[in-house]
Structure 1
Amino acid sequence: MRPSLRARLLSVLAVVPLVLTLATVPAPAAPRADSRADSRAGSADTLFPSLGHSGYDVRHYDVSLDYFPATNRLKARTRIRAVATTRLRSFALDLVGMRVRAVRVGGAAARWHRRGQQLVVVPRAPVRGRFTVVVEYAGVPRTYFDADGSKEGWVPTKDGAIALGEPVGTMTWIPSNNTPRDKARYTFRVTVPRGVQAVANGNLARRARHGARTTWTWQARDPMATYLAMVAVGRFKVYRSTARSITGRKVPVWTFADPRHDVPLSVRRALPRVMRFEERLFGPYPFTSTGMVVDDADVGYALETQTRPFYPFDVDSGTLVHEMAHQWYGDSVGFRDWHDIWLAEGFATYAEWLWGEAQGEEGPAERFDALYARPASAPLWRPAPTQFTGPQDLFGDPVYLRGAMTLQALRERIGDADFFAFLKTWARTHRHGTASTAQLVAVAERVSGEQLDALFADWLELDGRPAGY
């Protein structure tokens, strides 16, 4: 995510209650301890402990959405293929709003009830190993409004809507295991009126007309965290092309642009250049397609929705570089816990610094020195990037800027050759997986042959400006 100049996103789930369209719902609370209820098994995420379920692992979401832009209503069906990691008498999916019509597990009708943001499912018999669950639901999906006016979830636009998920908004439109540690593959089947376009993550597999309506089928073939899922519906200009990877592979490019926020040819031509620039630094592009979605959703930020980042305003080069860098760091190499979000935002910010240097602007060393000169009382220095205690600090300066400074401090410590080898090794070692800060330290030490735990502790764990730089 890259905040815009118009509205810096300071928090997506503030400590004050979240406001939903036509309703007010408090931020998810920690679950009560109850060893008898499988459905209460938490995700073990340290920031949102009540979201996600640790008793199963989702392998695939098949999401069918029948959308009516004039009324902003959905008729939906999501089929989930999962593997239970323990015997489950019940389990929970994260879903807020919408009216659940039916739930089936393994083809048999299941009992269910709502509890806060959870849809608790009780199958006829306990599940173990592979199982499927189908949820049919309908209604007007909700929009989250943050305390500073920023939005996520299902966001209506002038001619449709866009669904954005960071950090928890996907549960407004997909019943899901809504934690970054559980990646899955996705199929999206979005049916809309003829003349309206629907775009999602991945590759366009099929477009079929049914009288006055059209179904767009998109397949995200590589594992994806729930917060990166995206669907946009509107009357877009559609641009289709290919970008040639440094490996010689031709990568399909799909760009959907609201005519009022059209993407200039110069920006569309810049995308392949940015991709190749980042490939030379990070390794081959990790996904099967790329592109962008530019829509009139007034949310105040761009977002690294996998394969096809979202931009709500004119796309500048820095934002393009930032969101594309996330395809390696944050999307392909995901983080397991929200306290490790610097693994996404620090790397994407550092990519901007590298791009700026290549364009003749200030480089990482100069940016580091300017930031380091900020007074000890500056918000940059506390809380430390991995030590914030509430969601209000999830998108603050320590995560973005001090996270990038951590990488520059590492570069100065181990030298350019080892540092740039580390960038590629990190992206390759955890490609399409999830990782932690501890694993990053291990990779950096293996590549450089140096003991680096003290350096990372200074920059990531301790409040205040690290000394000696």
Structure 2
Amino acid sequence: MATIPVAVAALLAAAGPAAAGTSGSTGAGDPYFPLAGNGGYDVRHYDLTLGYDPDSRHLDGKAVITARATQRLTRFDLDFKGLKVTGITVGHTKADFRRDGQELVVTPRHTLHKHQEFRVTVTYQGTPKPVTDPDGSLDGWIPTDDGAFVAGEPQGAMTWFPANNHPKDKASYDFTVTVPKGTTAVANGVLRGQRTSHGHTTFRWRAAEPMAAYLATATIGKFKVEQYTTPDGLKVYNAVDPREATAAAPVLKKLPSVLAWESSVFGPYPFKGAGSVVDRAPQVGYALETQTRPLYDRAPSLGTLVHESAHQWFGDSVSLTTWKDIWLNEGFATYAEWLYTEQHGGKTAQQNFDALYASPADSDVWAFPPANPGSGAHIFETPVYSRGAMALHKLRTAVGDKTFFDILRTWAADHHDGHGTTAQFIHLSQRLSGKDLHALFHTWLDTSGKPASP
């Protein structure tokens, strides 16, 4: 990502991933976002059917959620905010429900047993509204003048579909989105088909690989669409607001070469689909690494394209376990920018490192340790990006290029479609290098202030 989102006070800090008894917990146990996610079940698949009218901004939705109970459940929660729920079934039986802030509390007619697979169907409608983060940025379903810019990091997925909204619970997705004829709906994965009838067009998308809810999108607008398949079989779908097309064209033209370069550095591209959505959304102020198809609020720079594309490995395929570890996403994507410029005739990574280290001690880059931002309010601030990249450069200089790039590729391969933690990355770095790196990581990831020496 390229900006800033939020925290929800320390309200339910005691809520763990699996509360005792037969009720799934109201949060997944994340210290920065206590209400995010839910306990008691694991989602396997979301099947989302949406109809949206950009003029009225009205959304009709149906979410069919296939999940497996991880404990005996008489009640469970979904994260869902704002829209009116018109009905819920568990299996084929109507279920009771109530709203409690961002929690949709579901009580099925029959108790769900541990390991039981079950299906929840939620129908809903209304005018979706984004959440506003402490810095004033918007997150979730963000209306535009011709549709909606749909970006969910870290909490916005709940503004347009009911979810287990924490990166720990990844699932596959199907999207069926109907919009007025002449409007395009872009989601994740691969386009399975589109059909126009009676003045409306329906787009069907499938994201087969596991995906965190915050990386899902169903962005809608009047886009110019470009589709092609790369020589190695990757299906690329670019959707560009015509007002941004001239500025975006030279950068998007480089997407195949950027993905090929990143594949050579990080290992095979992790998904079947790729592409970009370039919208005109001046109220947004950031880009987001929506899985397979990054979202840009305007024509991106080449550096931004490299950054969001690198997230497909670091953040999307290898996801967070807690939001505290956000540097594993942003520090890695920022360092990918440094590597790209270094290998394409620009500044070296060392020059980027040196320029940042020259920043005075009261500079934003030293405001807090990147592996401990302190709260969800800081997870998209400068230290997470810049000092996170500096930590990776210190690792590179300590272990040498061969071992460093082996670490990056092994990290991406070993945690493919899964999750990782800072402790696991440190362990991997030490195992592959044969060196004790605790002091290095402690200095650059965990220590407050400017390190005494570069």
Quick check: 2:373–2:384 contact (8 Å CA) kept in 1?
A: no
**405-414 or 438-447, which moves further after superposition?**
438-447
Structure 2 partner of 1:141: 128
Aligned-partner SS, 2:153: coil
Query: Are 2:133 and 1:153 equivalent residues in the alignment?
Result: no
Tell me how far apart the structure 2 counterparts of residues 345 and 41 of structure 1 sit (CA, whole Å): 28
Q: Match of 2:323?
A: 338
Q: Tell me what 2:12 maps to.
A: 30
Q: In structure 1, how many angstroms separate the alpha carbons of the residues matched to 2:143 and 2:230? A: 31
Q: What is the aligned partner in structure 2 of residue 289 from structure 1?
A: 273
**Structure 1 residue 190: Cα displacement:** 0.2
Rounded Cα–Cα distance in structure 2 between residues aligned with 1:389 and 1:414: 29
Task: Give the match for residue 132 of structure 1.
Answer: 119
Distance across 2 between alignment mates of 1:233 and 1:204: 14
Aligned with 2:82: secondary structure? Answer: coil
Q: Residue by residue, what CA displacement relative to the aligned partner does 1:12-68 show, whole Å, maximum 9, x if unpaired?
A: 226xxxxxxxxxxx7684267684561434201121011111211111000000111
1:168 corresponding residue in structure 2: 155
* Corresponding residue to 1:254 among 214, 237, 244: 237
State the SS of the aligned residue for 2:70: strand
Please state whether the residue corresponding to 2:359 is helix, strand or coil. Answer: coil
For residues 440 and 423 of structure 2, the distance between their equivalents in structure 1, rounded to whole angstroms, comes to: 13
Which of 227, 230, 233 is the matching residue for 2:217?
A: 230
Code of the residue aligned with 2:145 in structure 1: it is K
Amino acid at match of 1:230: T
Report if the CA contact (8 A) 1:61-1:80 is conserved: yes
CA contact (8 A) 2:26 2:103 kept: no
Contact 1:28/1:51, CA 8 A, preserved across alignment: no
Unaligned runs of 5+ in 2: none
1:47 and 2:32 matched: yes
Tell me the number of residue pairs that the alignment of Structure 1 and Structure 2 aligns.
Answer: 447
Determine whether 1:452 maps to 2:437: yes
Q: Which ranges in structure 1 are unaligned for 5 or more consecutive residues? A: 3-8, 15-25
Match of 1:278 among 218, 243, 262: 262
Q: Secondary structure at the match of 2:36?
A: coil
Structure-1 residue corresponding to 2:106:
121
**Alignment correspondent of 1:200:** 187
Contact 1:13 1:27 in 2 (8 A): no
- C-alpha distance in structure 1 between counterparts of 2:251 and 2:10, whole Å: 39
CA distance in 2, matches of 1:28, 1:239: 46
Q: CA deviation at 1:163?
A: 1.3
The reply to whether residue 440 of structure 1 matches residue 425 of structure 2 is yes
Deviations 1:258-283 (A, max 9, x none): 11111544223200110111111101
> 1:66 and 2:51 equivalent?
yes
SS at match of 2:390: helix
Whether the 8 Å CA contact 2:142–2:149 is kept in 1: the answer is yes
**Residues 448/134 of structure 1: CA separation in 2 closer, same or farther (3 Å cut):** same
Which residue does 1:415 correspond to in 2?
400
**C-alpha contact (below 8 Å) 1:39/1:120 kept by paired residues:** no
C-alpha RMSD of matched pairs (Å): 1.6
Q: What are the Cα deviations for residues 450-469 of structure 1, in whole angstroms up to 9, with x where unaligned?
A: 12222212211121223342
Match of 1:181 among 152, 165, 168: 168
State how far apart, in whole Å, the 2-side matches of 1:201 and 1:188 are: 8
Aligned match for 1:86, one of 71, 75, 83: 71
Which residue of 1 is the match for residue 370 of structure 2?
A: 385
**CA gap 1:396/1:371 in 2 versus in 1, 3 angstroms:** same
State the SS of the aligned residue for 1:315.
Answer: coil
Separation in structure 1 between the aligned mates of residue 271 and residue 214 of structure 2, nearest angstrom? 17
Contact kept, 8 Å, 2:172 with 2:209, in 1: the verdict is: yes
- Whole-Å separation in 2 of the counterparts to 1:120 and 1:410: 46
CA distance in structure 2 between the partners assigned to 1:294 and 1:28 by the alignment: 36
Normalising by the residue count of structure 2, what TM-score does the alignment of the two structures yield?
0.95
Task: Map 1:298-447 onto structure 2 (within 5 A).
Answer: 298=282, 299-447=284-432
Between 1:457-466 and 1:230-239, the stretch displaced more is: 457-466
Q: How far apart in 1 are the matches of 2:452 and 2:22? A: 49
- Say which is worse superposed, 439-448 or 398-407, in terms of deviation: 439-448
**Separation in structure 2 between the aligned mates of residue 250 and residue 94 of structure 1, nearest angstrom:** 36
Q: Which residue of 2 aligns with 1:100?
A: 85
- Partners of 1:466 and 1:309 in 2: how far apart? 34
2:202 counterpart letter in structure 1: T
CA distance in 2, matches of 1:441, 1:12: 27
Tell me the TM-score normalised to structure 1 length. 0.92
